[in-house]
Amino acid sequence: MHTRSPYATEALTEALGRPVSDQEGLTGHTVVAHWPGLAPVAPDDEQQIWTSQDWADHLDTPSWEYPRATSPRKDRFAIWHADVRLALDDRQLTGPEWSEIAHRLARAVGIATPGDTRSCRWIAVQAQPRRLDLIANLILPDGTWTSQPGLLLRLAAECRRLETALSLLGPLPARSSPHAALPAAVHSAAETTGQLAELLHQLADATGPLVTGRGLVEYAAHRLGAFPHAYGPAMEHQLGWIARRLYGIQQDLDAVVADLAATPDRTAPPPALPVPRPPTASARTRSTP
């Protein structure tokens, strides 16, 4: 996610990788998705000849219409911008796949509601290789400000779901479950132990909610540490300490999972002990003082 800005020109310039122009038109291959309320404002054939400046002006319109609209923090930085990128080893995506990603992320972050033409003005730009930019104006058509509760967590969770749905690579490879090969005919106690171990494993896994939460805390600490305000470094230190605690909890859970995986089935008969063999002559010789 990028820092919010007052005008769309900055975000669109970043998305295109070149300055916004009043001469250059953007086709449907570049703007792969947008809010449903755009159709009554500009038919498809008109959108095809819009310049990048036209698109920027379109996104800025709510800010001009409602000059008194402010965010919960009382600022006027209404342009929200985020970009998603494929891993280097990911396959190339088609236009419809990029469009699906755009619509799903727009719903996840609270800038779009299916079928609601009174939602935010937003567009999705696919102008650079292996990258999609989502840009929105957070001022709604009635002049109120869009609410985005749990933004980072919802965004991260939807990215994980998209990776699975589109067979894309996750940020870290998931570990195989230590209980994936449990026999089907185990005793119920051993089966329950395996299920609990799998539950804890999923919680502490590299793609699980605990690690995702730790990553979001570290991200917030980094952003706050860059603030010029006096509270920034203090908050960065406090959040860094919380992130370290979460990492310790993750390690503790991994240890519990390992212990559960090593727990023997106490309902099974004990294994037969090997018959002791007499020591060899050489062994007797070595044992003599």
Tell me: the pLDDT tens digits for 131-184? Answer: 999 999 999 999 999 988 778 888 888 999 999 999 998 765 444 444 444 344
The pLDDT of residue 59 is 95
Tell me: the pLDDT tens digits for 187-232? Answer: 455 556 666 776 777 676 665 677 777 778 877 877 777 776 666 7
Phi-psi region of 143 (alpha: psi -120 to 50; beta: other; left: phi over 0): left
Is residue 257 over pLDDT 80?
no
What's the alpha-carbon Rg for the chain, to the nearest Å?
Answer: 28
The pLDDT of residue 286 is 44
Is residue 31 over pLDDT 60?
yes
The pLDDT of residue 22 is 87
**Exposure string (b/e) for 40-70, b if CB count within 10 Å is 16 or more?**
eeeeeeebeebebbbbbbbbbebbeebeebe
SS3 154: helix
- More reliable by pLDDT, 43 or 139: 139
Q: For residue 169, give the DSSP letter.
A: P
Query: Nearest to residue 35, comparing CAs of 126, 140, 158, 132?
Result: 140
Number of H helices and E strands in the chain, helices first, is 10, 4
Tell me: the pLDDT tens digits for 84-118? Answer: 999 888 999 999 999 999 999 999 999 987 767 67
Using CA atoms, how far apart are residues 191 and 117, in angstroms rounded to an integer?
51
Place of tokens 């975000």: 11
% of residues, the chain, pLDDT over 70:
72
SS3 125: strand
Using CA atoms, how far apart are residues 14 and 9, in angstroms rounded to an integer?
9
Q: What is the pTM of this model?
A: 0.60
